[in-house]
Structure formats: C-alpha cells, structure tokens
C-alpha cells in the first residue's frame, strides 16, 4: 500500500476495527497488519478486508493474509537460514495469494541467477540474495510476470517482527 495506493496506517487500523478486528495493529507503513480473527478462513478475511478498503478508500488492493500458525511454519521452514554466513538482511519471502500450480512452478524451475537463490514452498517464495537486493532479478515482479501470480514481499526482519507481534497478542489474550 505504497506509492499511488497510499493509505495512512491509522486509517487502515480504524477500518479493520470498524469491521470487527478490535486489536488491529500495524507495523511500518507498508500495509502490514496484525489482528485477531476467530472463525473466518484466511481467504474470507482477505476478501472482507479487500471489500472494506474498496468501500472506504475506493482502492482495489490485493490483500494477502496468513495465520499465526502459518507464519510460524514459514519462519521455521526457511531453507537458507542454516547456510554459512547467513545474513538475514539479504533474505525475503514473497507471499502469494494462493499456491501456484505445477505448471506455474515449472516456469521458474530451471532459472538460476547465482549467487541469488529462491525456493518455492506452497504459497511462499523464499529469496536469499547474499550480495543484496540491489541487483537481483529474483523479486516479486519477476515471479509475478513469469508465473502469472500475485504476491507481496517482506524482508526477513519484517516477517519475524510481525510474528513476534502476533505471538505477543496471543500470549496477552491467554493471560486475560
């Protein structure tokens, strides 16, 4: 939610509270929101939020949602974290709206741009760029174009911080 689709995070938090997510909390100005939802599927939650954003801000913006359990699994499944000299500042994850088909995955299966690496696991693409992201071809636009998917990337620091916020919310709920 950057560039021409800018929504102030306070406005987004207020909107989510209006539709029933009373503990909505943002992290940095890029549409990262952590909130509690008890019964809806993540696809239903994404659709409800997308419709609410359109109704409130007249913006048709894709919404990609992950549960706390999914975020925990995503972090623990990082295929690059055990590499020697792993640098988390060179790591990102692209979250896809849905799992890509085998045909979509095959479109990038043989692509190799060393030293950069990627690994597709379900609806996430792990990207590790040891020389940094400045020159890499392996980023959201590349995969969206090649695979015909929709995604959004978060660097490893943001991803782990979102997980920390979600875990704290869960602990706080259990302690009340």
Query: Does the pLDDT at position 163 exceed 50?
Result: yes
- The DSSP 8-state label assigned to residue 99 in this structure reads P
> Residue 7: exposed, middle, or buried by beta-carbon count in 10 A (0-12, 13-18, 19+)?
middle
pLDDT average, residue stretch 19-27:
88
| 3-state SS, residue 139 | coil
What domains are there in the chain, each with its CATH number? 3-65 (no CATH), 69-161 (3.30.70)
| 3-state SS, residue 68 | helix
Mention every residue, 6+ apart, whose C-beta is less than 8 A from residue 59: 5, 7, 53
Residue 2: band (very low, low, confident or very high) from pLDDT cuts 50, 70, 90: very low
pLDDT in tens, 62-110: 899 999 999 999 999 999 999 888 999 999 999 999 999 999 999 999 9
pLDDT value for 37: 84
């Amino acid at each position: 939610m950057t560039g021409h689709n800018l929504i102030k995070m306070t406005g987004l938090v207020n909107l989510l509270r209006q539709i029933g997510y009373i503990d909505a909390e943002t992290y940095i100005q890029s549409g990262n929101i952590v909130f509690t939802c008890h019964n809806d599927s993540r696809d239903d939650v994404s659709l409800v939020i997308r419709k609410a954003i359109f109704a409130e801000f007249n913006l048709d913006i894709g919404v990609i949602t992950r549960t706390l359990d999914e975020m925990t699994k995503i972090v623990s499944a990082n295929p690059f974290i055990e590499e020697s000299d792993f640098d988390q500042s060179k790591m990102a994850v692209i979250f896809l709206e849905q799992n890509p088909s085998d045909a979509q995955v095959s479109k990038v299966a043989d692509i190799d741009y060393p030293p950069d690496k990627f690994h597709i696991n379900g609806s996430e693409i792990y990207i590790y760029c040891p020389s940094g992201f400045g020159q890499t071809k392996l980023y959201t636009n590349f995969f969206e174009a090649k695979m015909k998917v929709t995604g959004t990337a978060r660097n490893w620091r943001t991803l782990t911080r979102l997980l920390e916020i979600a875990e704290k919310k869960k602990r706080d709920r259990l302690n009340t």
